[in-house]
Amino acid sequence: MPSPTPGFILEARNVRKAYAQHIALDDVSLAVPEQSIFGLLGPNGAGKTSLIRIITQITAADSGEIRFRGDRLNPSHISQIGYLPEERGLYKKMKVGEQLLYLAQLRGLSRPDAVQRIKQWLERFELKGWADKEVENLSKGMQQKVQFIATVLHEPRLIILDEPFSGFDPINANLLKDEILRLRQEGATIIFSTHRMESVEEMCDSIALINRAHKVLDGTVRDIRNQFKTNTYEVEGVGRLLVAHPDFEVIEQKERESNHFYARIQLHAGTTPNDLLRFLIGQVQVQAFREQIPSINEIFIRRVRETMPETLQEEVA
Partner 1 sequence: MASKFLLVAQREYLTRVRKRAFIILTVLVPLLVVGFGLFVGKIAQSDETTEIVDVRDESGLNIARRLVSTPQLQFLPVGGTLAEAKRSFQQQQHAGLLYLPVGLSENDPQGVQFFGKGNISLGKESRVSTALTNAFAELKMQKSGLTQVQLDQLRAKVPLNSVSVDETGKEKDSNSGVTTGIASVLAVLIYFFIFLYGVQIMRGVGEEKSSRIMEVMLSSVKPFDLMMGKIVGVAAVGLTQFLLWGVLSWGASSIVLPLVMGPDKPAKTEVAAAPASGGSSVGTSSTTASPIAGAAAASAEQMNPAKRAGVVGSLFDMIGKLNIPIGTIVFGFIVYFLGGYLLYGALFGAVGAAVDDQTDTQQFMFPITMPLILSYIVGFSVILRNPDGPVAFWMSMIPFTSPVAMVIRLPFGVPAWQLALSMFLLVLGFIGTVWVAARIYRVGILMYGKKVTYKELSKWMFYKG
Q: Toward partner 1, which CB reaches closer, 103 or 235?
A: 103
**Of 194, 295, 276, 176, nearest to 235 (Cα)?**
276
User: Which residues make Cβ contacts (< 8 Å) with residue 28, sequence separation at least 6?
Assistant: 12, 14, 15, 16, 47, 51, 64, 210, 213, 214, 215
Q: Toward partner 1, which CB reaches closer, 29 or 59?
A: 59
Q: Toward partner 1, which CB reaches closer, 40 or 296?
A: 40
DSSP-derived 3-state class of residue 235: strand
Give me the least distance between CB of 152 and partner 1, in Å please.
Answer: 13
Give me the least distance between CB of 75 and partner 1, in Å please.
Answer: 7
Give me the least distance between CB of 88 and partner 1, in Å please.
Answer: 6
**Of 247, 245, 314, nearest to 283 (Cα)?**
245
Q: Toward partner 1, which CB reaches closer, 103 or 276?
A: 103
Q: Toward partner 1, which CB reaches closer, 80 or 292?
A: 80
Give me the least distance between CB of 314 and partner 1, in Å please.
Answer: 21
- CA–centroid distance for 53 within its chain: 17
Q: How far is CA 20 from CA 17, 50, 205, 276, in A?
A: 10, 14, 35, 57
Give me the least distance between CB of 92 and partner 1, in Å please.
Answer: 6
Q: Toward partner 1, which CB reaches closer, 149 or 299?
A: 149
Give me the least distance between CB of 167 and partner 1, in Å please.
Answer: 12
By the 8 A CB rule, do 114 and 153 touch? yes
The size of the chain, in residues, is 317
Cα separation, 95 vs 287, in Å, equals 59
Q: Name the residues that contact partner 1, by CB under 8 A.
A: 20, 53, 56-60, 62, 75, 78, 81, 83-85, 87-94, 102-103, 105-107, 147, 150
Cα separation, 6 vs 67, in Å, equals 12
Burial of 9 (0-12, 13-18, 19+ CB in 10 A): buried
